[in-house]
Structure 1
Amino acid sequence: MDNKPGLATLFVDTLALSMAANAVIAVRLTKMAFGVVDPSREGSLMVAEKIDAAAEASLAAARAIVAGEAHHAPGRAVAVYKRRVDRNLRRLTGG
């Protein structure tokens, strides 16, 4: 076995990420609409989180490439986003 991640694995991970991200968006917008969270603060937080996540994901991918494991770069970037989305979902749902 060559220990290279398959396209199917990347697809499943990306699909799971997109579903979790949609859940975060739904919870976030609902809480903003009902006044549970301050829309201004939450909006600023969203932008800051996206910038930080993009930087972290880029760094994770670059590290994989520099280490000679370019085949792991996409999965490592997706993993960064998945961790951050999961953290947001827990924060917003109290879970």
Structure 2
Amino acid sequence: MKRFMIEREIPGASNLSEAELADIAKASCDVVDGLGVPYTWVNSYVAGDKIYCVHETDDVETILEHARRGGFPANTVSVVANEFGPQTAALAGS
């Protein structure tokens, strides 16, 4: 499966309550369960008026179908080309 970064523009996203985020999470999980294809919601991050989601599936069309069924925007969908973090520095040697 490919990993995708999804940018969702949602005005006031950073003001959503825990209960509202829980409702969004439930809706997302319900859609994932009904897609009938391999699909994993990895995590989401709220920042300002946006929610950034990391999902895994085979193609962009499935990401867009998830958004359509859930009533979520999917303003930008990008395939993650690579991942790195502090642990990656050890690969550079000295």
Q: TM-score, normalised by structure 2?
A: 0.33
User: Between Structure 1 and Structure 2, which shows a larger proportion of helix residues?
Assistant: 1
User: Between Structure 1 and Structure 2, which shows a larger proportion of strand residues?
Assistant: 2
